[in-house]
Structure 1
Amino acid sequence: DEHVAKRRHNHARYCALLADCPGVEVKCAPSEEYNSNYWLTCVLVDPEKAGFTREDLRLKLEAESIESRPLWKPMHLQPVFAEAPRYVDGTSEWLFDRGLCLPSGTLVTEEDLQRVVAVIRSLGR
């Protein structure tokens, strides 16, 4: 319960801290009914509005010794599944190109959250 509460807290802080950051959307559960544990906090970067790409952000965070990672690579883009049947419409590729998982573990402090957000804002227009 404590771990889930901390993850929810971190997600809520990212939502608050990035609410006015153009082109960076913190992803949320579609409604409170889902009662998400927010095990991961993910953002979508709209390059046209943000002025940077998901990969620009990932590399800038990495340069600041902040670990992040793209959303999971779609299965059909992984070599082992290259020849497997697929039923796609471009949604998974779109999310992969724009989505990034931010640090959100139970050991992330308020200072850590502020630091991540400062890096994100430093890239913006």
Structure 2
Amino acid sequence: DYYQETLGNLPGITLMPEAPYGRHTRWLTVIQIDPEQFGKDREQVRLALEAENIEARPVWKPMHLQPIFSPYETRGGSVAEKLFNHGLCLPSGSNLTTAELERITAVIRNLSC
């Protein structure tokens, strides 16, 4: 909820929605970054966090984009590619302190247009 409260209002940043039929666990927090609205792309945000010794990583690469699966036919739309190209996994876990969360979100907020 902290990420939603502090980053959810930034133009170009979208957090994964919560389904109406359940409650999140937030074991993994992913933001999607629209570079045109936010002013920076996923990799620029990741590198800015890395410069502050904060580890973040892209969303998992879709199976059909991995070399071993390249000879096989792909079916479906472009949702997986969009998530991979624009999604960033932020530090998450029950042991993160408020100070750590503030530090993470400050880096991202300072990058905002």
TM-score (normalised: structure 1): 0.84
CA distance in 2, matches of 1:59, 1:82: 29
Unaligned runs of 5+ in 2: none
Q: Tell me which of 68, 72, 81 is aligned to 1:84.
A: 72
Equivalent position of 1:25 in the other structure: 14
- SS of 2:32's partner is strand
- Alpha-carbon distance in 1 for matches of 2:9, 2:101: 16
Aligned Cα RMSD in Å?
A: 1.2
Return the offset for 1:44: 0.5
Partner of 1:99: 87
Q: Which residue of 1 aligns with 2:106?
A: 118
The corresponding residue for 1:9 is: none
Between the aligned partners of 1:39 and 1:120, the Cα distance in structure 2 is 20
Shift of 1:106: 1.9
Q: Give a deviation string over 1:50-87, Cα, whole Å, max 9, x none.
A: 00001110111111110111111111111121112321
Question: What fraction of aligned residue pairs are identical, expressed as a percent?
Answer: 44
Tell me which protein shows more helix as a share of its residues: 1
Output the CA distance in 2 between the equivalents of 1:26 and 1:92.
16
**Which amino acid in structure 2 is aligned with residue 61 of structure 1?**
L
Secondary structure of 1:15's partner? helix
Q: What is the letter of the counterpart of residue 17 of structure 2?
A: C
1:2-50 Cα distance to aligned partner (Å, 9 max, x none): xxxxxxxxxx01101113211111112232x122212101100011110
- Of 57, 62, 72, 2:50 maps to 62
Aligned residues: 113
2 CA distance for matches of 1:49 and 1:15?
18
3-state DSSP of counterpart to 1:101: strand
SS of match in other structure, 2:36? helix
1:73 aligned onto 2:53:
no
Indicate the SS of the match to 1:42. strand
